[in-house]
Amino acid sequence: MDYNNLTLNGNDSVIRTLFFTDVHVSGRNPRSRKDNFLDTVLDKLNQINDISKEKNCDFVLFGGDLFDNPSVSNAVAGRTAKILRQFNRIIGIAGNHDLFGNNIDNIKSTQLGLFEKAGLIDLMYKGEKLIITKNDLTLQITGTPSHFGIDHDHIKEDYVVDTVNADKAIHIIHGMLMEKQLNPHMTVVTIDQIKETKADLTLTGHYHAGFDPIQIDGKYFSNPGSLSRVSSDRSEMKRKVGVLYIEISKNDIKLEFIPLKQQKGEDVLDRSHIEGSQYKEIQIEEFMREIKVASTIESMDITSIVKKIATNKELEKEVVDYALTKLSIAEESLSSE
């Protein structure tokens, strides 16, 4: 960030902004998508620019993962740049997908780093503090971009704001902040762990499904969810993609989720690879069950088990012969040891 003070024009003391996150711009179509993903995702950015103008936003906030990878092609970055330069001002942070090896120190060699240098987006780094003034209102903004070790080490340092030099404070972070632990294999930071923060509003992305704003002791925590649906899980098929509209005054923060225009899940997301692999699993399970049944009622002679299953399944002779050949080779090598 090359400035730490910003004075806004306007005749009231209300700051209006939007927050969006996890865009994942990519020239490559995700396996799950049936449409032209790049066109769809760039359209979302255009819609956000339109809403920001309709709502008279002073600037727009961004939560990280603009790109799906740090080195998207210049053709893809160029199309993205053409849209971003139409925004009044974007203040945001880098996400893990924007970085090589989640190393924030190498931001300069990424496309997002280039966008920062070109003035398309103002990036915030750990320790920086921006004070925005609009007439009688002051707003403090801090941000923690993704980095190696986030959500594991120094959680308070990354998430908790301890000094506020303004009427209201917003903190943006690209981390796995959730209301509660979903499953033991996933590293998350729960709101409970950071609720002493002095930020009036903590904005996060990273977890693509998002969650409805949560209010604890008068402080808000929000993740409006990813702008693009890159997986075709059942919940993603139905999820409403959108942005968070934020209105800040001296005594109040108002939040409103604004859904974007989007196509029906069934029209853009392809579930066949999921359903295909589920089908395969069912088949394997069935085969295993039959082996178990066969092995309890017949002898332990594996050749006869294969033959027995083969007659039940009406498998082609070639397949059965192949299996039997493989078995005899395996038996040979076992007995020779």
CB of 22 to Mn ion, least distance (A): 4
Q: Which stretch binds Mn ion (CB under 5 A): 20-28, 34-42, 68-76, 196-204?
A: 20-28
Is-contact 201 10, C-beta < 8 A? no
Residue nearer to Mn ion on the CB measure, 22 or 200: 22
Residue nearer to Mn ion on the CB measure, 58 or 65: 65
CB of 302 to Mn ion, least distance (A): 48
3-state DSSP assignment of residue 143: strand
3-state DSSP assignment of residue 120: coil
Q: How many residues bind Mn ion (CB under 5 A)?
A: 2
CB of 206 to Mn ion, least distance (A): 6
CB of 203 to Mn ion, least distance (A): 14
Binding mask 48-77 for Mn ion (x = CB under 5 A): -----------------x------------
Side-chain half-sphere CA neighbours of 265 within 13 A: 14
CB of 240 to Mn ion, least distance (A): 17
Residue nearer to Mn ion on the CB measure, 113 or 205: 205
Is position 236 an interface residue for Mn ion (rule: CB under 5 A)?
no
Is position 158 an interface residue for Mn ion (rule: CB under 5 A)?
no
Give the span between the Cα atoms of 114 and 54, in whole angstroms.
29
Is position 167 an interface residue for Mn ion (rule: CB under 5 A)?
no
3-state DSSP assignment of residue 164: coil
Residue nearer to Mn ion on the CB measure, 68 or 200: 68
The only residue of 22, 58, 151, 167 in contact with Mn ion, by rule CB under 5 A: 22
Is position 151 an interface residue for Mn ion (rule: CB under 5 A)?
no
**CB count, 10 Å around CB of 336?**
6
Judging by DSSP bridges, how do beta strands 219-223 and 211-216 pair with one another? antiparallel
Six-digit token pair at 69?
Answer: 């990878």
Is position 122 an interface residue for Mn ion (rule: CB under 5 A)?
no
Residue spans of beta strands (DSSP E) within the chain: 5-7, 15-20, 59-62, 90-92, 122-123, 130-134, 137-144, 168-173, 177-178, 189-190, 201-204, 211-216, 219-223, 242-249, 252-259
Residue nearer to Mn ion on the CB measure, 65 or 151: 65
Give the span between the Cα atoms of 318 and 323, in whole angstroms.
9
Six-digit token pair at 120?
Answer: 């398309």
CB of 323 to Mn ion, least distance (A): 44
Residues forming contacts to Mn ion in the complex (CB under 5 A) are 22, 65
